Structure 1
Amino acid sequence: MKTRPLLERIDRDWRTRRPDLDPTPMRRLILLARTARAAAERIEAGQGRHGLNSAQADLLLTLYRSAPPEGLTPGQLTGLSAISPSSVTNRLDRLAAEGLIKRLPDPADARVRRVQLAEAGRQRVEQLLPDHLAGERALLSALTEAEQAELEQLLLRLLDRLEAGAD
C-alpha cells in the first residue's frame, strides 16, 4: 500500500479504536521511516549501477573525502562513515578482494592496519560521485532549496535531541 493511503487508514483505524488517543506522532514517524527507506533504496540502486552496495560506497566515499595520505584505521573509518562498526570488517574484506582498497601496516604501530583507497577505488569513486550527487539532488527536488534547508534544520534538531537521550 502506498504511504499516503496507509497513513490515512492508520489514522482512521486508531481514531475508531481509541478516539481518546491522538495517533499523529505514530503517523509522522512511520512517514519519516518510509521516506528514509525509499530514499535509501533509490540511492543504493544508483550505487549498484557502479557495482557497489550502500555500505561499500559509503566506505569508499569516506576514504576519498576524509583519509590523509597514510590512510585511516578501521576505527577512524567507522567513526567517519554511516556504517555500523559490526559490518565494517566484512565490507573492507570485500573491497580489498576487489582491489578497491589497500590495507597497510601503520609505521608507528605494527599492530595497527591502515586503510587506503587503491587507484581502482579512487577511479570508482570518481565515476560514482557525479551520479550519486545527481541522484540525491533528484530525490530532494520535490522541495525548494529553502524547504530543503528547513528540513535539514528540523531533522538536525530532532536528531540532536534523540542523540542526547532526551524524550
Structure 2
Amino acid sequence: MSRQKTARQAPPAQDGTDERRAQWQAELPDVDTRGMAILGRARWITLTARPPIEAVFKRHGLDSGEADVLFSLLRSGPPYRLRPTELFRALMISSGGLTDRLNRLEKAGLIRRVAAEGDGRSLPVELTEQGIRCAGDAFREDMAIEAAMLAGLTEDEQSQLASLLRKLALTIGATQPFA
C-alpha cells in the first residue's frame, strides 16, 4: 500500500489589509472587518491604479474628467454626439462641472457644439476628427495599462472577479440613494 504525498499549499500572501485586520482583531475582536478585506483593498487598488492611468490622459493633453467626456462621446457611436444633459447624467456630475470641461475641450479643438435640428436652445456636443483620434488613442492606451495590471489573474479569475464586483456594485447601488 502506497501513500500519496499531498502537496502542501503555501499560505496565501499577506498584504497591508491583512495586517490592519489582524491589528483590529486584537484591539476590537467583536468588530467584523470583512468589509475592509474587500472595500479597503478596492480603495487601495483604485488609489494605486489611478496615477499611471492619469499619466496616459496627461500624455494626450487631458485630465480624467475630460477623458470621461471624450470616451462617453466616442462610445455613443457615430455621429459621436450627445446633448449636454445626456453627458452630465452619464458622468454623474453637475451641469456646471460639465460646462467647464466642455469649454476646455472645445478650446483644445476636441469637441464642437452644434445646433440641434428643431431646437435652437440645445447645443449638442460632438467629437471633432481630432477628438475622435485623441479619445481612441487614449482609451486604447488606458485599456493596455489596465490589462497589464490584471496580468496576475487568469482569464477565469478576471471574469469571476468582474462578476462578483458587478454583483457588489448592484447591491450597493440598490441600497444607496447617492449611487
Q: Which has a greater percent of helix?
A: 1
Residue 5 of structure 2 corresponds to which residue in structure 1?
none
1:43 equivalenced with 2:42 (yes/no): no
Alignment of 1:25-104 (within 5 A): 25-69=35-79, 71-80=81-90, 82=91, 84-86=93-95, 87-104=97-114
Q: Which of these residues, 19, 27, 41, is aligned with residue 9 of structure 1?
A: 19
1:121 equivalenced with 2:125 (yes/no): no
Tell me the CA shift for residue 67 of structure 1: 4.6
Q: Identify which range, 124-133 or 105-114, moves more after superposition.
A: 124-133
Q: Point out where structure 2 has 5 or more consecutive residues left out of the alignment.
A: 1-13
Whole-angstrom CA distance in 2 between matches of 1:28 and 1:114? 40
**Identity fraction in percent:** 35
TM-score w.r.t. length of structure 1: 0.85
Distance 1:68 1:164, change over 3 A: same
Q: Which of these residues, 157, 167, 171, is aligned with residue 147 of structure 1?
A: 157
Q: Alignment RMSD, CA only?
A: 2.1
Whole-angstrom CA distance in 2 between matches of 1:32 and 1:129? 22
Tell me the CA shift for residue 68 of structure 1: 4.2
What secondary structure sits across from 2:113 in the alignment? strand
Matched-pair contact (CA < 8 Å) for 2:110–2:129: yes
Q: Point out where structure 1 has 5 or more consecutive residues left out of the alignment.
A: none
Count of residues in correspondence between the two structures: 162
TM-score w.r.t. length of structure 2: 0.80
Matched-pair contact (CA < 8 Å) for 1:106–1:114: yes
Whole-angstrom CA distance in 2 between matches of 1:148 and 1:136? 12
What secondary structure sits across from 1:116 in the alignment? strand
Matched-pair contact (CA < 8 Å) for 2:56–2:142: yes
Q: Which has a greater percent of strand?
A: 1
